[in-house]
Chains A and B, each alone.
Chain A
Amino acid sequence: MRVLKDLLKDGRFKFGFIVVCILLFLAILSFFSPYDPTRWNIFPRDLPPSTQHILGTNSKGQDVFWEATFAIRNSLIISLIAALISRIIAIIVGLVAGYSGGRVDRVLMSISDSFLILPLLPILILISSLIKKHLSLVSLGLLLSIFGWPWDARLIRAQVLSLREREFTYTSVLSGSSTLSLVIKEYFPYILPLVFSTIINNMGWSIGLEVTLSILGLSNLAIPTLGTTLHWAINYQAMLLGIWWWLLTPIVISVFLFISLYLLSVSISEYSDPRTRVQRIGLAKE
């Protein structure tokens, strides 16, 4: 995988990649957890880290380490669902609006802009306080995806608009290509890098929102995620009582997750930027 090899030469990508791999490993580890994450009082409460419990136990009587593996897994699942679905909506809207222009463009962008100006947090608070008992991972992911597409739709539309004016669009039309095949063959190589880096950005955004909602108590608190762990820790006055291992675990994991997602996003988007790709094309042979 030449692409991976090249990317690993970039220090930022290396760091982000290693951290994400570790977190993925921990997430997968959750499938082998000997304890049920929804059960309370399995262990004595508030035990500091020891050889038996690497990260100690929390006030609910659960092992912090194994809870954390579930938390990572669930947070990642929510953000992946949110990111993937909102990408699909953004790509379709952006492509159609950008290429068609005229009325279709204006209608789509009005819809997109309306979503953009909606005050996100109050609406999410409202919706989730109404249905929080029924919020599963998937439904939270879907909810976030409805609000995650407008920004990137406009980004993709902007790219399509500029591509439409370039001469190779005309060459492609003269070669007899239909609109759909033109967009897929000519424009996708430019749009996919955008999609890629915005997926990662979007994942960061969704995790952030999920943490916010959970801390406010507006998510399904039975499911362990980074946010709900924080919520419980705050609720049980972990900081005051000195149960730092419970509080710090989700914080440190979140910080590392955000940083590595950012580094991945930056290095991947630089690598896949058409301008640097053009530079690399000739070099591959020499």
Chain B
Amino acid sequence: MEIVKVDKLKAYYILDIYGRKQIIQAVNGVTLEIRENEIYGIAGESGCGKSTLVKTLYGMIEPPLTLIDGNIFYRINGDLVSIFSLPNDRLQKLKWSFISYIPQGSMNVLNPVIKIIDSFWDFIGSHIEEKEKSSVEKSLNDFFNMLGLPSKILNAYPHQLSGGMRQRVIVALATFLNPKILIADEPTTALDVVAQRSVLQLLKSIQSLLNNTIILVTHDMGVHATISDRIGIMYAGNIIEEAETEELYENPLHPYTQYLIKSLPKIGDKSYKVSAPGTPPSLANPPSGCKFHPRCNYSMKECTENVPKFVEVKQNHKVACFLYSKEVDS
């Protein structure tokens, strides 16, 4: 059952800097279904629009980001509700209790001059009644212990903890109210491998304990292989391939996906590796037709003229590429 549904979403940044206008097509017609009880990974290079996509999923559409077209639905109490039809205070109430968002670089969001537990009250205080505060503190301690975090860090200051530990604290705080959806945007990018492993393990154990949905955004295909159940590959504002993890790694269909997977080095393998040629396209001035065609080895004439439609070509395996389906996107 889907818990988040995105329908032909278009969201652009409209900038006006001293009279010069610029339109950045960050999310350019995305249709997605994210299910309950899964870890859905969104992969893609920096600048492909994935952070903007998850911001819109969280409902953070503020200028200069503008909604151009499309819709986003949450399944609340069994029904699909469009988030744009909800009044503002209802949407605010959903945040942290139904859907939680951990932005990029969030290990730095903790207020450096107060203890972790005080930051926690800042974030969550509005969701908890005054009289319940002492019992909540106890359950917070238990929650941390359950996740393998030493509860003494609740009384520490942020600078006393390493980046990895802070990130894990943020993940714990974001899931304490048991939201049904957790969005994590590049949660491990600034961390070294060991810290990264601890954060990813934490995410996986939270998912199996609470049976919620995690939307994990990262450019690292190694990370996706390790914890994602299904993966959507994003390129220049569109999702171009989507499949279950094992299927995606065994049979990557889109040429871009193939590059993403083959470019990762492995211990024990000294064979020559290549990364994707060229550079990601500018979202302000994207190429015509299929946006990957300037970097694609297999590009044909129609690739420069039309945009391929995102269709299911094998069971549970969708791709947008003229190599597999000649359908054109309207």
Q: Give A contacts to B, CB under 8 Å.
A: 6, 9-10, 271, 276, 279-280, 283, 286
Contacts and interface: CB of A to CB of B under 8 A. Distances in A.
Contact of B19 (A9, A271, A286): A9
B86 interface: no
B17 A279 contact: yes
A271 B19 CA distance: 13
B266 interface: no
Contact of A280 (B18, B284, B285): B18
Interface string B282-302: 001100000000000000000
Given A280-B20, A283-B17, A286-B22, 6 more contacts: A9-B18, A276-B17, A283-B20, A283-B22, A286-B20, A286-B285
A188 B193 CA distance: 39
Contacts of B20: 280, 283, 286
Chain A interface helix/strand/loop/mixed = helix
Contacts of A6: 18-19
A9 B17 CA distance: 10
A282 to B, nearest CB: 9
A286 B17 contact: no
A75 B47 CA distance: 53
Contacts of B18: 6, 9-10, 271, 280
A286 B21 CA distance: 9
Contacts of A9: 18-19
A279 B15 CA distance: 10
B17 A280 contact: yes
Nearest to B20: A283
Q: Which of B18, B20, B22 is the most central at the interface, judged by chain A CB atoms within 10 Å of its CB?
A: B18
Nearest to A3: B18
Contacts of A279: 17
B271 to A, nearest CB: 34
A271 B17 CA distance: 10
Nearest to A6: B18
Nearest to A7: B18
Interface in B1-32: 17-20, 22
A10 B16 CA distance: 12
B25 to A, nearest CB: 14
A241 B20 CA distance: 56
A279 to B, nearest CB: 6
A77 B17 CA distance: 35
A271 B18 CA distance: 9
Contacts of B19: 6, 9
18 contacts: A6-B18, A6-B19, A9-B18, A9-B19, A10-B18, A271-B18, A276-B17, A279-B17, A280-B17, A280-B18, A280-B20, A283-B17, A283-B20, A283-B22, A286-B20, A286-B22, A286-B284, A286-B285
